[in-house]
């Protein structure tokens, strides 16, 4: 049987460790908890329903249409109305954390698959044209100056770990295909949940002080990776 693409040996090991730590715990962390309510988890999602609305009828001149008895005429139309749907189920701490982790791994796999596909298409459609500047290549001094001015890393995106439930940064090392996931711990403290969610999901800008804390945390992790 073919395994899903998101499964790797490291991720399987992570799931085993996660089960060892939380497999027999309720959502509040109690071991072999007898209280059923402690296993209740509610998922909420935004949906839409059709709502019937009566609307006046008008003629081409904007006059209200009436029947033979002088009563205004109405037509029923259906408008989409947003609603929040809730679904509650009983799960253990491991089931909740593992599902969140797997959802994140699936998203990473889809993103990597798309990047590989784009790279393959770029190679297939490459005409082998010359990439060097028309006026010549960098000399040694110009190349050193150009490379010195490039940042060591780029922060591509922020995310939320499904295992630790803490924010992390997806970091790309310059001139490399290597990407690091840096645990930000409490670097996003001091901002509202709404701003934090918009920054993680939609890449909205954060306050300068928070950006500086994130950059410092990422720089420490990058230095550790490069040194070891």
Cα distances (Å, whole numbers) of residue 223 to 31, 172, 216, 217: 39, 13, 11, 10
Hunting for tokens 């297939």 — which residue is that?
124
What is the residue extent of each domain of the chain?
40-90
Would the pLDDT of 40 be above 90?
yes
Confidence of residue 134 (pLDDT cuts 50, 70, 90): very low
Confidence of residue 112 (pLDDT cuts 50, 70, 90): confident
Write the Ramachandran bin of 4: left for phi over 0, alpha for psi from -120 to 50, otherwise beta: beta
Taking the C-alpha atoms of residue 83 and residue 45, their distance in angstroms, rounded to an integer, is 8
- Segment 51-66 shows an average pLDDT of 88
pLDDT value for 150: 64
Percent of the chain with pLDDT over 90: 14
Cβ atoms 159, 168 nearer than 8 A? yes
pLDDT value for 19: 92
Q: Which residue has the higher pLDDT, 63 or 122?
A: 63
Would the pLDDT of 208 be above 80?
yes
pLDDT value for 30: 93
- SS3 label, residue 12: helix
Query: Which residue spans within 91-149 are E strands per DSSP?
Result: none
pLDDT value for 113: 81
Angle between helices 93-124 and 9-22 in degrees, nearest 10: 170
pLDDT value for 148: 58
Tell me the pLDDT tens digit for each residue of 155-187. 888 888 777 778 888 888 876 777 888 888 888
Hunting for tokens 């800008």 — which residue is that?
205
Q: Is 18 exposed, middle or buried (0-12, 13-18, 19+ CB in 10 A)?
A: middle
Mean pLDDT of the chain: 81
């Amino acid at each position: 049987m073919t395994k899903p693409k998101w499964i790797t040996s490291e991720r399987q090991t992570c799931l085993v460790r996660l089960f060892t730590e939380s497999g027999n715990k309720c959502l509040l962390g109690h071991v072999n908890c007898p209280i059923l309510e402690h296993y209740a988890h509610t998922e909420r999602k935004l949906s839409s329903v059709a709502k019937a609305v009566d609307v006046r009828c008008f003629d081409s001149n904007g006059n209200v249409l009436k029947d033979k008895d002088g009563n205004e005429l109405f037509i029923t139309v259906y408008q989409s109305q947003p609603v929040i749907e809730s679904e509650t189920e009983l799960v253990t701490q491991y089931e909740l954390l593992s599902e969140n982790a797997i959802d994140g791994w699936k998203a990473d796999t889809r993103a990597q698959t798309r990047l590989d596909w784009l790279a393959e298409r770029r190679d297939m459609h490459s005409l082998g044209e010359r990439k060097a500047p028309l006026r010549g290549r960098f000399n040694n001094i110009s190349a050193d100056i150009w490379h010195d001015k490039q940042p060591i890393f780029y922060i591509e995106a922020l995310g939320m770990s499904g295992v630790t439930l803490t924010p992390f940064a997806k970091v790309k090392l310059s001139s490399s295909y290597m990407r690091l996931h840096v645990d930000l711990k409490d670097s996003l403290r001091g901002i509202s949940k709404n701003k934090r969610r918009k920054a993680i999901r939609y890449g909205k800008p954060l306050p300068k002080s928070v950006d500086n804390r994130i950059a410092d945390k990422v720089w420490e992790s990058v230095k550790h990776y490069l040194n070891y």
